[in-house]
Amino acid sequence: MHNIIILFIVIFFIPSFETFGQEEDWEVARREGVKFSNTLDSLFLENKYEQITEICNQPSRIFNSVCTFNLIGTYYFLGDSLKSWELLNKVIADYSDGDSDAYTLNNLLSKDYTAYKKFLINSTAKNYIVSHIDSFYMTEPVSDKQSGIILLHLLIEDQWVRNTSSLYDHFKPERRFLLPSKMDSMQAIQAQRDHSTKVFNFYKKQNKVFSKAEVGRIYYWQLLLFFHEWDLTRREFYHELVKQGVKVGALTLEDQANFEAGTEYIIMGSKEYFNHVQEITNQLIKKYSLPSNFRIRLI
């Protein structure tokens, strides 16, 4: 088995050394990472858990992060919960070091590795991670922690719901087993709509956007929640909040321009929008006297 694993690693990485002179290093690394991740996904889907541990426990293993998250899930389904949770706690500690903030830990809920994603769905890990996010956030120097933690949860759930729903849109059919039991595509879409309603109800009650001083770095990601609302009547309400936010200094004119571009995207549709994106950009630059190098960010 060890010889097979070593041979696999040698075959897997030799082509990369031949292409370094032809492509950017980061692109080569990205493609290799995708191949490696897909290989581990395939092994997990074939219930070849021991092969994953063999590959990822090699002394000179590459793609440490990919292996770590795969091992968390693989050990769990091998029945070794102790190793699984030890690794998860180490990752949480690593993410909590340095200049990171609470929302950084949300990355732990969005990793797209089959073994790890199934681990999150089948265990109590999601709630466990969210509890760490909450504890971390309560130590941050923000003035409205009560609203901030509600907003933080809305952002976390927004990404969770959309990542779950995307199983019907982007993932291979054999990965649909990752969905909650008895959930179909219509229910997945409805889950997105239901969450958008929760977000809307929150902002109807607050009737404002929050500043960085009030809620921390997540203030900017309010625009992500607004972009995910495709009901044009609700978008009119959000538009007023954005304009109010610009007036009080919580948001910028660039943020307002990006929001309006998002509305155009929804009205026009993806293809038509990108056919006219430069024209839309120029109109926004003129309307708000933005720098000539302004580029739309739909988020």
Per-residue pLDDT of 217-274, as tens digits, reads: 999 999 999 999 999 999 999 999 999 999 999 999 999 999 999 999 999 999 999 9
Check pLDDT > 80 for residue 52: yes
Annotate 277-294 with b (16+ C-beta within 10 A) or e (fewer).
beebbeebbeeeebeeeb
H helices present in 107-221, as ranges: 114-122, 125-137, 145-165, 185-206, 212-215
Task: State the pTM of this model.
Answer: 0.83
| pLDDT interval class at 131 (50, 70, 90) | very high
pLDDT in tens, 175-231: 556 656 566 667 777 888 999 999 999 999 999 999 999 999 999 999 999 999 999
C-alpha dihedral sign at 159, 195, 143, 204? positive
**241 phi and psi angles, rounded to 5 deg:** -65, -40
Check pLDDT > 70 for residue 172: no
Say if residues 39 and 51 touch (Cβ distance below 8 Å): no
How many Cα atoms sit within 13 Å of 259 on the Cβ side?
A: 28
> Alpha-carbon distance 109 to 14, whole Å?
33
- What's the mean pLDDT when you consider all of the chain? 87
Check pLDDT > 80 for residue 49: yes
Say if residues 79 and 119 touch (Cβ distance below 8 Å): no
Rounded alpha-carbon distances, angstroms, from residue 69 to 44, 63, 64, 116, 122: 12, 11, 9, 6, 15
Say if residues 116 and 70 touch (Cβ distance below 8 Å): yes
Which pLDDT does position 167 carry in this prediction? Answer: 55
Rounded alpha-carbon distances, angstroms, from residue 14 to 8, 11, 27, 71, 241: 10, 6, 16, 24, 54
Mean pLDDT on 53-68 = 85
